[in-house]
Amino acid sequence: MRAARYIGVAMAATLAAATGCSGGDGGGGREATAATSPGTAPSGLGAFYGQKLDWKSCGGGFQCATAQVPLDYAKPSGGKVGISMIRLPAQDKSARIGSLFTNPGGPGGSGVDFVRQAASSFGADLRKRFDIVGFDPRGVGASDPVRCNTGPQLDGFFAADSSPDDKQEVDAFAGLSKQFANNCKSKASAELPYVGTKDAAHDMDILRAAVGDSKFTYYGASYGTYLGAIYAEEFPKNIRALVLDGAVDPKESAIGTLVEQSKGFETAFRAFAEDCVKSAGCPLGTSTSEAEKNLTAFMAKTDKTPLANTRDSRKVTESLAVMGIATALYLKDYWPLLRQALSQAMQKGDGTLLLALADQMVERKPNGSYSNQTDANMAVNCVDKPNPPNLAAYGQAADEAKKAAPHFGPFVVWGGLPCIYWPVQPKQQPQAVHAKGAPPIVVIGTLRDPATPYKWAQSLAKQLDSGVLLSLDGDGHTAYLQGNACITKATDTYLVTTEPPKNGTLCH
């Protein structure tokens, strides 16, 4: 569950079809000058900044193009990466402001798919006055994707016991994690040093210039907030307006990120349980304390005896069941489906709906293949921030997470274990971002967000010299596009006029 991405629109379409239900920098160098003026290309990058995109119709009113960026910014005359882009043109050309770049998070989420699915959900003023632009970051989707593991290999990795209870189980999961890393070393070693967030942030400035915008306007969700924050640190004077929704804290360590994320899932589950036990027939019981005890018992039982499912021959292990629960916590609209899934699993021993939810999290297709989201997610995370040095240190972190978040801690933390075996290790340390000289940057946090805890939004808004905190007293992952009128109005007004809401605004 290292993924942190906006999941709502895609989930609604694909999960309903599946279930029949409704409801870093890895050591590559960088140019020395980052904070360039909008009209000036950094040294050696003139051809990239001056490129003209060949936009072509790609269905549904969308246009697609491919931009070229250097594989290694220290050697821009060397290899290139093709960045797949999509845009939905502004409805009113006479009122057009420019491009609104977007990123749905991950890392590993396809920005092209996101715009196809979600562009029409953006506010009317934004659709009228901006081209809504998405792109697949380097290593993701259609942008020279990192691909390491086969479908069966990923099936095995996700089904494995990622909450090991003894040395034998730890060693078994460590073996799978090491194999994951070795697969990437053998199949994608040339790309791995250059898929970090800092590289992707530099790519975004090239994309800004390639679409003809002198200033950068951006909406980033989840991990997309980290990408946006790094962009702000590198190019503060190139910003017009940035919205960072469901914020990630740049100064948090890799393992600290996982521990805090597990606490976020624990908080979100309690909110779901409090809602569930208010009505008759809740599979978790009649009180929140009973709900937590029953979930613990259910997990222990599933650890020993995996659930069956009616979709295929896979067994629904404890790890897959927890992943399914976590997926539904991303969106409050899916609480009724989670209640149904838990009823099915806890009362009938049927894990079909939990498995469908888990498959949605990791973008597993009905034919058993996967998108490259998982491989890219691991590749970016492993080179962005240092990880614990060995298995023993990782185990200590998992123990810490279990104390803080007993139902989700071990699964979230152990899920990142391949990084300690990764063939490319990061050279930089986590650090705060300030974006000195940037105009106001709006950071949005949801109080009971499962994947990006609210404290991260508070932290990022304080770090940024011009940070403005906008909060939603609500549930689910991210706030914009979830239908809250207060959040929509504040966000759209800022993106159109560059006038931010009052710092500390709380929407209900």
222 is catalytic: yes
* Average pLDDT over every residue of 34-54: 80
Nearest to 108 by CA among 419, 360, 376, 361: 376
User: Tokens for 507?
Assistant: 């929407």
H or E stretch including 15?
helix 8-19
Give the whole-angstrom CA distance, residue 460 versus residue 243. 12
* Average pLDDT over every residue of 295-299: 98
Give the whole-angstrom CA distance, residue 288 versus residue 272. 9
477 is catalytic: yes
**386 vs 428, higher pLDDT:** 386
In the set 136, 245, 384, 449, the catalytic residue is: 449
* Average pLDDT over every residue of 82-91: 98
Give the whole-angstrom CA distance, residue 11 versus residue 328. 9
Strand partners, 83: 67
**Over pLDDT 90: what percentage of the chain?**
91
457-490 pLDDT per residue, tens = 999 999 999 999 999 999 999 999 999 999 999 9
For position 310, what pLDDT does the model report?
A: 94
**425 vs 40, higher pLDDT:** 425
* Average pLDDT over every residue of 121-126: 95
Q: Whole-model pTM? A: 0.94
393-452 pLDDT per residue, tens = 999 999 999 999 999 999 999 999 999 999 999 988 999 999 999 999 999 999 999 999
Q: Which one-letter amino acid corresponds to residue 481?
A: L
For position 22, what pLDDT does the model report?
A: 36
In the set 110, 222, 262, 471, the catalytic residue is: 222
471 is catalytic: no
For position 102, what pLDDT does the model report?
A: 98
319-370 pLDDT per residue, tens = 999 999 999 999 999 999 999 999 999 999 999 999 999 999 999 999 999 9
Strand order in the sheet with 98-103: 56-57, 63-70, 80-88, 130-135, 98-103, 216-221, 239-245, 441-448, 467-475, 505-507
Least confident of 175-179, 237-241, 301-305, 389-393: 389-393
Least confident of 10-24, 89-103, 244-258, 420-434: 10-24
For position 20, what pLDDT does the model report?
A: 42
Res 273 pLDDT > 60 = yes
For position 423, what pLDDT does the model report?
A: 96
**Over pLDDT 70: what percentage of the chain?**
92
Q: Phi and psi (nearest 5°) for 498?
A: 70, 10
In the set 99, 371, 475, 477, the catalytic residue is: 477
Determine the angle formed by the axes of helices 318-329 and 288-304, rounding to 10 degrees.
Answer: 140
173-208 pLDDT per residue, tens = 999 999 999 999 999 999 999 999 999 999 999 999
Nearest to 147 by CA among 105, 191, 83: 191
- The DSSP result for 275-325, as a single string, is HHTTSTT-TT-SSHHHHHHHHHHHHHHHHHSPBB-SSSS--B-HHHHHHHH
Give the whole-angstrom CA distance, residue 251 versus residue 226. 10
Res 267 pLDDT > 70 = yes
